[in-house]
Amino acid sequence: MAALTYGNAAKLYCLQLIDEAIRRAEGTFRIVDLGCGDGRNFVELLRRHPDVEYAGVDPSRRAVEQAQRLLPLAELAHMPAYEARLEPADAVVSFSVLEHVADRARYMDAVRANLASDGRAYVNYDAGHFGPDATASERAKAVVARAFAGLGHESRYRARVSDEEFAGLIAASSLRAIDDKGFNTELKLTYRAVPEHRRDVFMDRWLAFELELNAAGLTYDERVFRTRNVILERAD
């Protein structure tokens, strides 16, 4: 069977949990994706579960147009996630978005606002744009972001999210963490060299290995994991 997504263990972990939640659900299951990009992370999940309601928003018109081609039955909108106030969802998704957001408090407020009372939010953010394996383009954008921040500009495009900042954001948004793991070791780079016909097997083993690291007590640390993955629920 095809993997639910490729090239990112954190996203695969979330999608597998969402897949399990869909199978347990009674009635319609709804997903809101805040920063959906081209939607490719949900192609296989929606193929398996065609009755799932999927709504995605993204500030890039081009990305929304690409998502519409990949997910023709999806509810998609070209808008900043800050403005999204959609029908509350069983799963709110934020995959590798927070580190690109200018006003992170408003963004996390949107996560909560679109979450059903018994729903869960799947949020991950990355350090890979800023570490030793970042591309020259990513490093240049990070330098520009720091320069603008030093001048008091509100943009925080491609800026690290600290653990302390994230803790403050979820508390201020009346959310609480129920799962907190690190993902995407050096195997994220290894994946690029894996032949396409072996990638399904590789994704399974990659995720299993990183779950073992978490079970052994390793926590999110940029020296080991590039991505922090947190599952949230409403605190009220």
Is residue 12 within 8 Å of residue 229, measured between CB atoms? no
**Angle (deg, nearest 10), helices 9-24 and 199-215:** 90
Question: What pLDDT digit, counting tens, does each position of 39-79 carry?
Answer: 999 999 999 999 999 999 999 999 999 999 999 999 999 99
In this prediction, residue 102 carries a pLDDT of 87
Spatial CA neighbour of 23 closest among 54, 52, 56, 55: 52
CB neighbour list of residue 141: distance below 8 Å, 6 or more residues apart: 129, 157, 158
Is residue 84 within 8 Å of residue 59, measured between CB atoms? no
**Residue 129: pLDDT over 80:** no
Distance CA 61, CA 20 (A): 31
Alpha-carbon radius of gyration of the chain: 17
3-state helix, strand, coil in the chain (%, to 5): 45, 20, 35
**Residue 100: pLDDT over 70:** yes
CB neighbour list of residue 1: distance below 8 Å, 6 or more residues apart: 200
- How is the chain split into domains, by residue range? 9-234
**Residue 22: pLDDT over 80:** yes
Spatial CA neighbour of 108 closest among 4, 181, 35, 50: 35
Class of domain 9-234: alpha beta
Is residue 19 within 8 Å of residue 45, measured between CB atoms? yes
DSSP state of 174: T
Question: What pLDDT digit, counting tens, does each position of 135-166 carry?
Answer: 455 455 555 444 444 444 344 456 789 999 99
